[in-house]
Amino acid sequence: MTEKRLYGIDVLKAVCCFSVVLLHAVAYRVESFDGTASWMLANVISSATREAVPVFFMVSGALVLRRDIPSYAGYFLKIARNYTVPLLGGLAAYKLLAVSQGDPTPLLDGVVYNVRRSLAFHLWFMWTFLGLALVAPLLRPMVARPESRRLFLGLWLLFCIVQPWLGRIDVALPVDNMLFVLHTGYYVAGYALLAANRRVPAGWLLFLCGLAVGATAWLTWRAALETGLLSPLYYEGPSPFLVLYSACAFLLCRDLPAGPFPRLLAAVSGATFTVYIYHVLALSLAGRLFGPTTLAMRLLVHAPLAFLACLALDAVGRRIPGLRVFFR
At residue 304, the pLDDT reads: 97
What residues contact residue 247 under an 8 Å CB cut-off, 6+ apart? Answer: 189, 193
Where is average pLDDT lowest: 134-148, 218-232, 252-266?
252-266
Q: How far apart are alpha carbons 182 and 172 in whole angstroms?
A: 18
| Tens-place pLDDT, residues 101-149 | 888 888 777 777 676 666 677 888 888 999 999 999 999 999 999 999 9
Q: What is the pLDDT averaged over residues 148-176?
A: 95
Do 23 and 46 meet the contact criterion of CB atoms below 8 Å apart?
yes
At residue 242, the pLDDT reads: 97
| Tens-place pLDDT, residues 11-60 | 999 999 999 999 999 999 999 999 999 999 999 999 999 999 999 999 99
Per-domain residue ranges of the chain: 3-326
Share of the chain above pLDDT 90, in %: 70
Residue 2's pLDDT band (cuts 50, 70, 90) = very low
Q: What's the chain's average pLDDT? A: 91
Q: What is the pLDDT averaged over residues 190-202?
A: 93
At residue 186, the pLDDT reads: 97
Give the CB-side neighbour count of residue 22, counting CA atoms within 13 A: 21
Residue 157's pLDDT band (cuts 50, 70, 90) = very high
Q: How far apart are alpha carbons 81 and 273 in whole angstroms?
A: 13
Please list, residue by residue across 84-96, b when 16 or more beta carbons sit within 10 angstroms of its beta carbon and e when fewer do: eebbebbbbbbbe
At residue 293, the pLDDT reads: 83
Tally Cβ neighbours within 10 Å of residue 53. Answer: 24
User: What is the DSSP track for 132-183?
Assistant: HHHHHHHHHHHT-SHHHHHHHHHHHIIIIIIHHHHHTTT---SS--SS--HH
Cβ burial, residue 77 (10 Å; 0-12/13-18/19+): exposed
* Whole-structure pTM value: 0.92
Q: How far apart are alpha carbons 150 and 169 in whole angstroms?
A: 28
Give the CB-side neighbour count of residue 209, counting CA atoms within 13 A: 19
Query: Is the per-residue pLDDT at 4 higher than 50?
Result: no
Kindly state the greatest CA–CA separation across the chain: 58
Cis peptide before 257 (omega within 30 of 0): no
DSSP 111: T
Query: Is the per-residue pLDDT at 61 higher than 70?
Result: yes
